[in-house]
Structure 1
Amino acid sequence: MNKRLILLRTLTRKMGNLARLRDTQPPKQGWIAAVRQALGMTAKQLAERVGLSQPRIAKMELNENNLKISTMKKIAAGLDCDFVYGFVPKNSLQETINRQARKKVEAILSNVNTNMALEDQLADDPHILTDMADELIAKNIRRIWD
């Protein structure tokens, strides 16, 4: 089996688990402060647990969207949590591939049809688009992103 297809299926399954988190809104004060406060921990205590200063923790709580992943993992560990991150596709990965391949083929066919119209030989078979997109995906998927 194609290595890319195995990866696609594996990621699709894993991302499916993350999809239900898509609409999860962070607490108003942010995850770090919310979890820390729920645990009854002060910012100073968290700072000591992760080897940072209390003012640094305060800054992180105000600006947690701009922290490095490694920093978030460190803070999570100090809160006895796991930091989880991932990508949740808007559509399935296969749908994204199919849509992009069709877009690429439409551009190719547009050029072909411009030239063929001059010779009254338009490529207007409705299956051409689908067949070409499938072939592009199967033989050289990287081309769909050019």
Structure 2
Amino acid sequence: MSVKKTVKKQYVQIVDIAAKQLVSLRKPPEGWLSVLRKALGMSGAQVAIRAGVSRNAIYQAERNETDGAITIKQMQKFAEAMGGRFVYAIVPENGAVSDIIQKQARRKAEDRIKRASAHMALEKQSLTSEQTAQRIDDLANELIRDMPADFWKVK
């Protein structure tokens, strides 16, 4: 196995492990800052003192988190002020990295085979639905194996 493939495999493992650990984790509607603060029984003023900011900055940060406008640095600072640790990850929405790759390969394969089938139909050389399905599967596997430069290109 080449170094490039080994490194890619390691990246896939990192993402897949994180995805499995976070499968049921969802941000609470009021945001993590507010939830942790309330779980600890801390007031905004108490967090503000620990973080070295104004009380208003805490409430603004909580609003910004729910609006998606808070920075990673702010999340880290306020999490640490409450004795917590800010963690973030980007993981596949459903399943594993291989599922995303498989879905993209299948989409590309279906598109290519359908275009070729349209030309073949004009020449009265149509494939059966079983042959078409097999060609799509074969091409999708080839695309996954070779990962051409245009693999992620959207039409």
Range into which the TM-score falls when normalised by the shorter chain: 0.7 to 0.9
Q: CA RMSD in A?
A: 2.1
After superposition, give the CA deviation of every residue in 1:87-127 in whole Å (9 maximum; x if it has no partner).
34212221221111111111111111111222222344232
Q: Which of 74, 85, 89 is the matching residue for 1:86?
A: 89
Separation in structure 2 between the aligned mates of residue 29 and residue 139 of structure 1, nearest angstrom: 45
After superposition, give the CA deviation of every residue in 1:4-27 in whole Å (9 maximum; x if it has no partner).
2332133212221111324xx62x
Q: Which secondary structure does the structure 2 equivalent of 1:21 belong to?
A: coil
1:7-18 mapped onto 2 (5 Å cutoff): 7-18=11-22
| Contact persistence 1:8–1:93 (CA under 8 A) | yes
Which residue identity does 2:108 align to in structure 1? K
State the 1:36 CA deviation. 2.2
Q: Which secondary structure does the structure 2 equivalent of 1:122 belong to?
A: coil
Which residue pairs with 2:48 in the alignment?
47
Q: Percent identity?
A: 33
Q: Which secondary structure does the structure 2 equivalent of 1:84 belong to?
A: coil
Of 6-15 and 75-84, more deviation after overlay is shown by: 6-15
Structure 1 portions without partners, runs of 5+: none
Aligned residue pair count: 143
Q: Normalising to structure 2: TM-score of the pair?
A: 0.79
| Pair 1:105-2:109 in alignment | yes
Structure 2 portions without partners, runs of 5+: none
Distance 1:100 1:46, change over 3 A: same
State the 1:47 CA deviation. 1.4
| Pair 1:31-2:32 in alignment | yes
Q: Normalising to structure 1: TM-score of the pair?
A: 0.83
Separation in structure 2 between the aligned mates of residue 141 and residue 16 of structure 1, nearest angstrom: 28
State the 1:54 CA deviation. 1.2
Which residue pairs with 1:5 in the alignment?
9
